[in-house]
Amino acid sequence: MNRKIFLTLAAALALGVGSVALLFPADLLASKGTVPSEAANVWMREVGVLLLSLGVIAGLVRGHADSPTLKALLLGNLLVQLGLFLTEVVGYANGVITKLSGVLPNSVLHLLLAAGFAYFWVTMGTSKEAAARGSH
């Protein structure tokens, strides 16, 4: 899979999950075994807005050439995925997320996305190196 396809898939996932978190926060919380509250709904909507934003950014840059800026964006997304993974695992371990079905699929997805962002971050050269290779 090339970086453009990966970022297209990452964008679609972020847009989908972000939309659900923004529009249906209580349902998303309930699917994790978490009791929705007004405060939790607000936080879930905020996460939804952030995911939607990340999805738009990933979609807009998916065809960009190698650059230090794109490399920084990949690293930022890697950190987001690792942070979300750890937050969900700790939430489950502490009994806040009570359904394994509410944490396992997300955890696998976060790890797969993290692996993809890490791969493309590590393998990306600078724009000068890409030009020397004749690629973009």
Q: Is 22 part of any domain?
A: yes
The residue with greater pLDDT, 134 or 70, is 70
Structural domain total, the chain: 1
Q: Is 80 part of any domain?
A: yes
Q: Is 136 part of any domain?
A: no
pLDDT at 128: 55
Which range among 21-25, 43-47, 101-105 shows the weakest confidence by mean pLDDT? 101-105
Q: Is 62 part of any domain?
A: yes
Q: Give pairs for 119-123: CB < 8 Å, separation 24+.
A: 120/3, 120/6, 120/74, 121/71, 121/74, 121/75, 121/78
Residue 80 in contact with residue 51, Cβ under 8 Å?
Answer: no
Q: Is 133 part of any domain?
A: no
Average pLDDT rounded to a whole number, residues 7-35: 94
Q: Is 87 part of any domain?
A: yes
Q: Is 100 part of any domain?
A: yes
Q: Is 7 part of any domain?
A: yes
**pLDDT > 70: what percent of the chain?**
92
Range of the domain at 12: 3-128
